[in-house]
Amino acid sequence: MQIQPTDKIWKNGKLIPWKDATVHVLTHGLQYGTGAFEGIRCYDTVNGPAVFRLKEHMDRLASSAKAINMKLPYSPAELCEATKETIRANKLDSCYIRPIAFYGVSGIGVNPIGYPVEVFIVVFPMGAYLGDEGMKHGIRVHTSSWHRVTNGSVPATAKICGDYLNGALAVMEAKLNGFDETIMLNELHMVAEGSGENIFLVRDGKILTPPLNAGILPGITRDSVMRIAKDMGYEMVEQNFARSELYLAEELFFTGTAAEVTPIREVDRRAVGDGKPGPVTKTLQAKFLDIVRGKERKYAKWLDPVK
């Protein structure tokens, strides 16, 4: 996905020009993937620009940092303020927000303890991650031959830079085979998630999503959609399911900050339901898109005004 550059990037407490936001080649986070990051969206709501669940995202950044023994030089509250300042400085009404914290340059060697920690916040416009067509008609996915990183090898619930090699391999395989996205299984052959999305399955009037110990990122959109579904009276269960259960699904959809709620219309060349986004997916997608645009007062606490 192409990025349209903006004016300013926040670096360690200061706004600097976009083109100056570079790093040294010996950055530990680049050499070994020792960083943590977030993906957040700011929406142009009925009450002006507002960031969706900003605090929860910055809290997750802090817990991802903790998982790799990294002490963030800024509190989540300071990073929330810095995010809003950066959006204002770039005069954006809606955007994607990419905070990243990583071990910087000191020496060489795998151990980063004692290395400086660098923090950047980048904001830029973003449309539908899996395309407008995908949002409307659903996407085509396959099951990856790469398993999701396991709980025994990395902190699988943290959003760590190095872990994304796993997702990159899986999504490249999907794209090279003509699919839009990938579904990864975990070490127990249960469904985990996509390369940048959590997954939901609808069957017999119930909505299922894998539990946090399935080797998934605790998605903030996942949490939002689970709460919305329960509030709407759906039976919502965190439960493992196998690859073959994907083929029994009446509906499947992905959730994520970038992907929002994206229907899946085909899995492993088999139609999901009748091959069109189903009623539960469409209802939850519409509700979610109304909520993020500030049209539902009940969920106003999820929106943090930028101005």
What is the set of active-site residues? Answer: 159
In the bound state with ligand PPE, the residue whose beta carbon lies nearer, of 104 and 196, is 196
Phi, psi angles (nearest 5°) of residue 189: 65, 20
Helix 54-67 vs helix 220-231: angle between axes, to the nearest 10 degrees? 130
In the bound state with ligand PPE, the residue whose beta carbon lies nearer, of 99 and 278, is 99
In the bound state with ligand PPE, the residue whose beta carbon lies nearer, of 49 and 215, is 215
Angle at 127 between CA 282 and CA 273, to 5 degrees: 25
In the bound state with ligand PPE, the residue whose beta carbon lies nearer, of 139 and 273, is 139
In the bound state with ligand PPE, the residue whose beta carbon lies nearer, of 135 and 217, is 217
Q: How far is the CB of 220 from ligand PPE (least distance, A)?
A: 4
Q: How far is the CB of 180 from ligand PPE (least distance, A)?
A: 13
Q: How far is the CB of 221 from ligand PPE (least distance, A)?
A: 3
Q: How far apart are CA 257 and CA 209, in angstroms?
A: 17
Residue nearest to ligand PPE (CB): 39
Q: How far is the CB of 6 from ligand PPE (least distance, A)?
A: 17
- Reading the block at residue 244, the tokens are 């073959």
Residues 6+ apart with CB under 8 A from 295: 45, 46
Q: How far apart are CA 188 and CA 214, in angstroms?
A: 9
- Reading the block at residue 15, the tokens are 């706004």
Q: How far is the CB of 97 from ligand PPE (least distance, A)?
A: 9
Q: How far is the CB of 108 from ligand PPE (least distance, A)?
A: 28
Helix 220-231 vs helix 279-292: angle between axes, to the nearest 10 degrees? 110
Interacting residues with ligand PPE (CB under 6 A): 39, 167, 193, 196-198, 217, 219-222, 255-259
In the bound state with ligand PPE, the residue whose beta carbon lies nearer, of 115 and 199, is 199
